[in-house]
Amino acid sequence: MLSSLKSPEIIAIQEDGRAERGADRCHELTESPDSMPYTIAHLSDVHIPPLPPLSRGDWFSKRILGLFSWHRKWKAEHRMHIIQALQRSLDALAPDHICITGDLTFTTHPGEVAQATRWLESLGAAESISLVPGNHDAYLPGALEQACEAWAPWMTGDGQGRQQFPYLHRRGCVDIIGLSSGIPLRLPRTVGRLGSAQLKGLRALLESIEGDNRPCIILIHHPLQEGAARRGKELLDREALRAVLSEHAVDLVLHGHLHRPARATLQGRRGRTEVLGVSSASAFGDRYAPAHYHLLEFDRDDGQITIALRHVRYDRASDAFVPGEREALTQSFQAEPA
Ligand SMILES: [Fe+2]
């Protein structure tokens, strides 16, 4: 008979990068860790249309190039009716939590940020969503800071007074860590970088939660595996990130950025770390893969926690998202704290 999972403690990252356990537990922040199965939808790169009209000042910034690219290449791809179909699918499948790996906007225009904020609010309670930004949410110098301020309710760690990365959300039986890899760049580069401070914070966070032996998910916009993104689109410090993960117990890394499904496996301290990349959640599929999202199911089986994956794919004919077969994703591990 399976014993109950411990209710997790709040862990806050301090200004010097240390992770500190709080006296409070997450009872009020999260569902019971015993509630199973626990389901998480993972989606990305929504690039919510339409783009707002440009102001006079935008004509002298990089944003004008983004607008040109949007109208020439992307406006026909990212469609509102697919976002509405996504909403219907999420309503029907009713995941316990939603993880979003960035690129809600195309040029981080204030109007796009406000539009994305309204969309996030429409998805459900802020506690049931974990968000990280992408490179399109850091389009110009200063834009990421504005987006992070607007989206703080979905990107602030449990018990943290202010928004910062990495953050930790302890939800149900799962620990979710959010990283920020978007940086402002000159076109056409869309590389990402975490930086040493964020990697140090990640290491401290992983060390602090390891003893709780809960499933751990990392959210990042850019893929971290070698060769997934071509030159000019890659995560610059991916090797350093992989080195951190190899020393810790991380079960899943969820990313976007590629606009197509991607998959890789890393070796972590507890066993395999599955790396899952998802297509854009709003794509018609003429330029890259059609829209799809991941549905992850955490369940218990004879004293162990198991993780299963379903791809939920957009079908043009029915204008609806269709769930695929359930696939056992990882080796199960002991549900009991070590
Ligand atoms: Fe991206």
In a domain, 152, yes or no: yes
The pocket of ion ligand 1, defined by CB under 5 A, consists of 103, 134-135, 257
**Cα 50 to averaged position of ligand 1 atoms, centre (Å):** 18
In sequence order, the 6+-apart residues with CB closer than 8 A to the CB of 13 are 19, 20, 157, 160, 164, 166, 167, 168, 201, 204, 205
Q: How far is the CA of 320 from the centre of ligand 1 (A)?
A: 24
> In this structure, is residue 144 part of a structural domain?
yes
The residues pairing with 266 across neighbouring beta strands, listed in sequence order, are 273
CATH code, domain with 124: 3.60.21.10
User: Based on the structure, what is the number of domains in the chain?
Assistant: 1
Cα of 109 to ligand 1 centre, how many Å?
Answer: 16
Looking at the DSSP bridge assignments, the partners of residue 305 are 300, 333
Q: Ligand 1 centre from 191 Cα, in Å?
A: 9
Write out the residue range of the structural domain in which residue 167 sits.
22-334
In a domain, 93, yes or no: yes
Ligand 1 centroid to residue 136 C-alpha, Å: 6
CA 166 to ligand 1 center in whole angstroms: 19
Q: In what helix (H) or strand (E) does residue 307 lie, and over which residues does it extend?
A: strand 304-315
Domain assignment of residue 16, yes or no? no
Sign of the torsion formed by the C-alpha atoms of 78, 79, 82 and 83: positive
The verdict on residue 267 lying in a domain is yes
Q: Would you write out the chain's pLDDT as a tens digit for each of its 338 residues?
A: 233 455 677 777 676 667 777 645 544 444 566 678 999 999 999 999 999 877 777 777 888 888 888 988 899 999 999 999 999 999 999 999 999 999 999 999 999 999 999 999 999 999 999 999 999 999 999 999 999 999 999 999 999 989 999 999 999 999 999 999 999 877 668 999 999 999 999 999 999 998 888 999 999 999 999 989 989 899 999 999 999 999 999 999 999 999 999 999 998 887 889 999 999 999 999 999 999 999 999 998 887 889 999 999 999 999 999 999 999 986 555 544 43
Q: How much distance in Å is there from the Cα of 301 to the middle of ligand 1?
A: 37
